[in-house]
């Protein structure tokens, strides 16, 4: 039996998001749609039964007879940089608590892998560097990372092993935690460090093109499964988070095992598979106007809703979740039985609650983040439904979690209704609509501020899914992004122009 300290700090940083949307200490303390920051034994209850990596890790490590020592776990909604104050405060707590925990045999960290702070471009690498410094060279430090992790030399060098999610939508978080726990169990039992190999892929993949339900990623993940096993204890493919402008941005293949040659061969084979399918990662998207037009045509004869993914305002990618381009296109084209989720506008939610259900209010909705081409959307709205923002998730990604989003409202204008909330959260769960009395399957058009995660809960009912581009901070066409820190020689999109470095 080993004594394993467990901690987690999660942030996915969109360095292109407005500086007014940074992740400060309060964002970590509250957690947004995820559990609030927890420290010490309350962590067990905070994450129990959830589809979180740390939850799966706890279950598996305890099932194998280990003592787990909870340090600290927190998550901030994706946004611009994590502030120096937030990082240093929370990292300070984490390592203080580790020091106070007494002797431990191993450390597990539940990280995202794409955190950029005001003072470190590689926030996760810095955490792992401090972890290694705290526990010394010999102790096993295993970490889980997101499918969107941007793997760096500091992460590889300081972690004994990293384990990445294998799904996007991320339905396998808890399973990844269990997998990491099994690996850590083996490493501690045998008192050894595994051999590792890793390779960066020389082109950037836009988030909507990374989905594991679609090609080419679906078959790449199947090949990963086939290559893993025997002397190859773990293999990962992380396409990366393209909205973080950092030196090491881009996909990575990495693996660990008992035999150096076997690990190197598996990593090379998987990397060559990814590189060989570069053209298939190219994006297919429409303008918001064309998307709405096509959705209205399809919806007129289809049985299920057409879903419009408002990908460039996905708060899960650091979008401000208040852009109005898709709303404008829906209203201007006279869409009916259409609903858009979720507009982050606390002021509108508050005014709707003051006015009451059935009231009519004049609002300039959303559009307050100063994004070029975006503006508030003025209209007379009917307050169709109010909610307190407390509801359960039953979707595959967030199952078992209770949302606490604060006052919410369903506002209608013409045939279009908008879900408004004072808390930013990605529209990936049907519960967000059901909470306000909207039956998703009965809609003709559903606009969602999400890139891929919504597919886990919505794809089955959809008659079609279209990715649409309205002004927002999560630029889908990565060749248009103004990368400044990327290392030289990386293609900015599949088969696209090459970065000059800088």
| 3-class DSSP string for 434-492 | HCCCCCHHHCCEEEECCCCCCHHHHHHHCCEEEEEECCCCCCCCHHHCCCCCCCCCCEC
- Convert residues 389-408 into a mask of x (bound to Zn ion by CB under 5 A) and - (unbound): --------------------
Q: Which of 337, 339, 363, 338 is nearest to 349 (CA)?
A: 363
In the complex, the smallest distance separating the C-beta of residue 239 from Zn ion, rounded to whole angstroms, is 9
Task: Name residue 39's beta-bridge partners.
Answer: 72
In the complex, the smallest distance separating the C-beta of residue 318 from Zn ion, rounded to whole angstroms, is 11
In the complex, the smallest distance separating the C-beta of residue 282 from Zn ion, rounded to whole angstroms, is 21
Please identify, using beta-carbon distances, which residue of 206 and 324 lies nearer to Zn ion: 206
Please identify, using beta-carbon distances, which residue of 146 and 248 lies nearer to Zn ion: 146
What's the sign of the alpha-carbon dihedral 255, 258, 260, 263? negative
Please identify, using beta-carbon distances, which residue of 146 and 172 lies nearer to Zn ion: 146
What is d(CA 468, CA 323) in angstroms, rounded to the nearest whole number?
13
Structure tokens at 366: 């959303």
The yes or no reply on residue 10 touching Zn ion (CB under 5 A) is no
Please identify, using beta-carbon distances, which residue of 140 and 427 lies nearer to Zn ion: 427
Please identify, using beta-carbon distances, which residue of 28 and 168 lies nearer to Zn ion: 168
- Convert residues 94-133 into a mask of x (bound to Zn ion by CB under 5 A) and - (unbound): ----------------------------------------
Size of the site for Zn ion (CB under 5 A): 2
What's the sign of the alpha-carbon dihedral 178, 180, 185, 186? positive
In the complex, the smallest distance separating the C-beta of residue 487 from Zn ion, rounded to whole angstroms, is 22
Name which of residues 228 to 257 contact Zn ion (CB under 5 A): none
Please identify, using beta-carbon distances, which residue of 217 and 443 lies nearer to Zn ion: 217
What is d(CA 427, CA 450) in angstroms, rounded to the nearest whole number?
6
- H helices, E strands: number in the chain: 14, 22
What is d(CA 471, CA 431) in angstroms, rounded to the nearest whole number?
26
In the complex, the smallest distance separating the C-beta of residue 455 from Zn ion, rounded to whole angstroms, is 13
Please identify, using beta-carbon distances, which residue of 148 and 183 lies nearer to Zn ion: 148
Contact status, residue 352 vs residue 389, Cβ threshold 8 Å: no
Q: Which residue of the chain is nearest Zn ion when measured via CB?
A: 148
Pairing of strands 286-287, 306-310: unpaired
Please identify, using beta-carbon distances, which residue of 27 and 146 lies nearer to Zn ion: 146
Angle at 332 between CA 433 and CA 21, to 5 degrees: 55
In the complex, the smallest distance separating the C-beta of residue 57 from Zn ion, rounded to whole angstroms, is 18
Name which of residues 129 to 148 contact Zn ion (CB under 5 A): 146, 148
Would you tell me which residues interact with Zn ion (CB under 5 A)? 146, 148
């Amino acid at each position: 039996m080993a004594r394993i300290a467990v901690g987690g700090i999660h942030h996915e940083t969109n360095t292109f998001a407005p500086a007014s949307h940074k992740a400060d200490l309060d964002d970590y303390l509250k957690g947004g749609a995820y559990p609030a920051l927890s420290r010490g034994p309350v962590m067990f209850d905070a994450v129990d039964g959830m589809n979180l990596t740390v939850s799966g890790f706890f279950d598996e490590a305890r099932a194998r007879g280990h003592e787990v020592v909870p340090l600290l776990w927190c998550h901030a909604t994706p946004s611009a940089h994590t502030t120096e104050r937030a990082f240093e405060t929370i990292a300070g707590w984490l390592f203080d608590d580790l020091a106070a925990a007494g002797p431990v045999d191993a450390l597990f960290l539940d990280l995202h892998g794409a955190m950029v702070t005001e003072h470190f471009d590689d926030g996760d690498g810095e955490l792992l560097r401090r972890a290694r410094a705290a526990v010394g060279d010999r102790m096993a430090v295993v970490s889980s990372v997101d499918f969107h992790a941007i793997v760096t030399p500091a992460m590889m060098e300081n972690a004994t092993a990293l384990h990445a999610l294998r799904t996007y939508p991320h339905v396998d978080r808890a399973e990844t935690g269990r997998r990491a726990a099994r690996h850590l169990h083996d490493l501690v039992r045998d008192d050894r460090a595994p051999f590792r190999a890793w390779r960066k892929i020389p082109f950037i993949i836009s988030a909507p093109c990374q989905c594991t339900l679609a090609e080419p990623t679906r078959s790449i993940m199947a090949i990963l499964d086939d290559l893993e096993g025997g002397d190859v204890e773990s293999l990962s493919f992380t396409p990366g988070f393209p909205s973080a402008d950092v030196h090491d941005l881009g996909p990575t293949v990495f693996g660990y095992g008992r035999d150096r040659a076997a690990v190197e061969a598996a990593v090379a084979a998987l990397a060559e598979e990814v590189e060989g399918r570069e053209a298939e990662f190219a994006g297919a998207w429409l303008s918001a106007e064309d998307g709405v037009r096509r959705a209205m045509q399809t919806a007129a004869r289809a049985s299920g809703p057409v879903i419009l993914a408002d990908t460039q305002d996905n708060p899960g990618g650091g979008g401000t979740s208040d852009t109005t381009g898709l709303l404008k296109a829906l209203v201007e084209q006279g869409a009916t039985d259409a609903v858009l989720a979720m507009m982050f506008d606390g002021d509108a939610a508050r005014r709707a609650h003051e006015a009451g259900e059935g009231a009519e209010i004049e609002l300039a909705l959303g559009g307050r983040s100063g994004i070029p081409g975006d503006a508030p959307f003025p209209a007379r709205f009917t307050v169709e439904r109010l909610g307190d923002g407390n509801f359960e998730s039953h979707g595959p990604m967030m199952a078992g979690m209770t949302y606490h989003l604060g006052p919410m409202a369903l506002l209608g204008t013409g045939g279009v209704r908008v879900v408004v909330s004072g808390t930013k959260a990605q529209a990936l769960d049907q519960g967000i609509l059901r909470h306000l009395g909207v039956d998703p399957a009965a809609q003709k058009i559903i606009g969602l501020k999400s890139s891929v995660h919504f597919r886990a809960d919505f794809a089955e009912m959809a008659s079609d899914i279209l990715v649409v581009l309205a002004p927002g901070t999560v630029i889908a066409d990565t060749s248009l992004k103004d990368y400044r820190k990327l290392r030289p020689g990386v293609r900015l999109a599949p088969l696209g122009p090459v970065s000059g470095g800088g």
